[in-house]
A = this chain, B = another copy of it.
Amino acid sequence: MILLFSPRSDLAIEAAALFNKTENDIKSIEGIEYKTEKNDNYTVTRVEVLNKKGEQAIGKQIGTYVTVECPKIRENDDEAFEAVSTVLAGELEKMLNLKKYHTVLAVGLGNWNVTPDALGPKVVSKLVVTRHLFEYIPEKIPDTLQALCAVSPGVLGITGIETGEIVKGICDKVKPDVVIAIDALASRKIDRISTSIQLSDTGITPGSGIGNKRRGLNEDYLGVKVIAIGVPTVVDAATVANDTIEILCENIKKSENLDKDIGKALEITDNEFRYPLIKEVLNPFVGDLIVTPKEVDEIIDDVSKIIANGINRAVHKDTENLYNA
């Protein structure tokens, strides 16, 4: 049996059942709540998967998925940076729901040697880490700070250890009240690269992301609530090839004098033929080719500042002194 190609996405708003549908269509899906808020700088989309029916409908676990989209991030717009940091901090604060003396463990997933996968470690390097101060100089800590600690565990190919195991081991020692896991994602759409940020309270399930993370970073395994923050930084080259075929087929189908047989041929193309075609184009790399903007290094830098800023503000109350962190 040949595995048919299925475009890879880690975003709830790109789930098959939601993709390319109108908002009204989506609202009629049972077990799903879907809300959108827009302003000049960004769009916030809230997808709530309420029950098993919802899970089956869109293939995402029960939980809340909030996506902030802001195309202006790519234009280096300072006002947009600030606006997105603020909305991100607000949404994250709600999900974290911290009490005094709670401890937060931030985990930067991904491979620091692979530019578009280095988002997590970059964010972690910009956090205002404070947990050790509570232990060593508690009397000097302002009331506005919470105990935040942070690690970048690496990926399986670098450590020889499943990321889940490393994080579980650290959790068992640190006993955080909540974990924030930051990861680079794959998207189905090129225009989401670096401009969408997804928060969810479901943690990370095995196989997502572009690294190797088999054991889930989720409450089931770690025994503590996990908030996942993800940003699409690449699109699979296979997705680009697939989208090209799709658009081409649609264009051909629209041509007036289309013979029924060809129409049928194109239907077939939608299924059996597609994967071998894509494989032929991307040979010999197929699984490991990624599409990124040329300036991906700079993009990852910018978006990691926004996310670090959002986390710093959400965790520590007094934001004034943390803006430059």
- Which A residues are within 8 Å of any B CB, using their own CB? 71, 78, 113-115, 117, 125, 129-133, 147-154, 156-162, 165-166, 168-174, 190-191, 193, 210, 237, 240-241, 243-245, 247-248, 251-252, 255, 257-259, 261-262, 265-266, 269, 273, 277-278, 280-285, 288-298, 324
Asked whether, in the complex, the Cβ of B173 is within 8 Å of the Cβ of A165, the reply is yes
Question: What's the Cα separation between A269 and B262 when bound, in Å?
Answer: 15
Asked whether, in the complex, the Cβ of B161 is within 8 Å of the Cβ of A131, the reply is yes
Q: List 18 A-B contacts (CB under 8 A).
A: A71-B284, A125-B158, A132-B156, A148-B160, A151-B161, A161-B174, A168-B169, A190-B282, A190-B283, A190-B285, A191-B283, A240-B281, A244-B244, A252-B266, A257-B261, A259-B259, A285-B293, A289-B291
Asked whether, in the complex, the Cβ of B157 is within 8 Å of the Cβ of A129, the reply is yes
Name A237's closest neighbour in chain B (CB-CB).
Answer: B291
Least Cβ–Cβ distance between A206 and chain B, in angstroms: 13
Question: What's the Cα separation between A191 and B114 when bound, in Å?
Answer: 20
B-side contacts of A278, CB under 8 Å: 244
Least Cβ–Cβ distance between A122 and chain B, in angstroms: 13
Asked whether, in the complex, the Cβ of A240 is within 8 Å of the Cβ of B172, the reply is no
Question: What's the Cα separation between A236 and B305 when bound, in Å?
Answer: 29
Name A246's closest neighbour in chain B (CB-CB).
Answer: B281
Partner of A132, one of B131, B147, B162, B283: B162
Name A278's closest neighbour in chain B (CB-CB).
Answer: B244
Partner of A114, one of B259, B291, B295: B295
Asked whether, in the complex, the Cβ of A129 is within 8 Å of the Cβ of B159, the reply is yes
Least Cβ–Cβ distance between A81 and chain B, in angstroms: 9
B-side contacts of A261, CB under 8 Å: 257, 259
Asked whether, in the complex, the Cβ of A248 is within 8 Å of the Cβ of B262, the reply is no
- Which 10 residue pairs across A and B have the least CB separation, nearest first? A169-B169, A149-B160, A131-B160, A129-B160, A259-B259, A169-B173, A241-B244, A244-B244, A165-B173, A169-B170
Asked whether, in the complex, the Cβ of B240 is within 8 Å of the Cβ of A297, the reply is no
Least Cβ–Cβ distance between A140 and chain B, in angstroms: 15
Partner of A288, one of B114, B258, B295: B295
Question: What's the Cα separation between A115 and B300 when bound, in Å?
Answer: 13
B-side contacts of A273, CB under 8 Å: 251
Asked whether, in the complex, the Cβ of A190 is within 8 Å of the Cβ of B277, the reply is no
Question: What's the Cα separation between A149 and B240 when bound, in Å?
Answer: 36
Asked whether, in the complex, the Cβ of B265 is within 8 Å of the Cβ of A248, the reply is no
Partner of A251, one of B125, B149, B277: B277
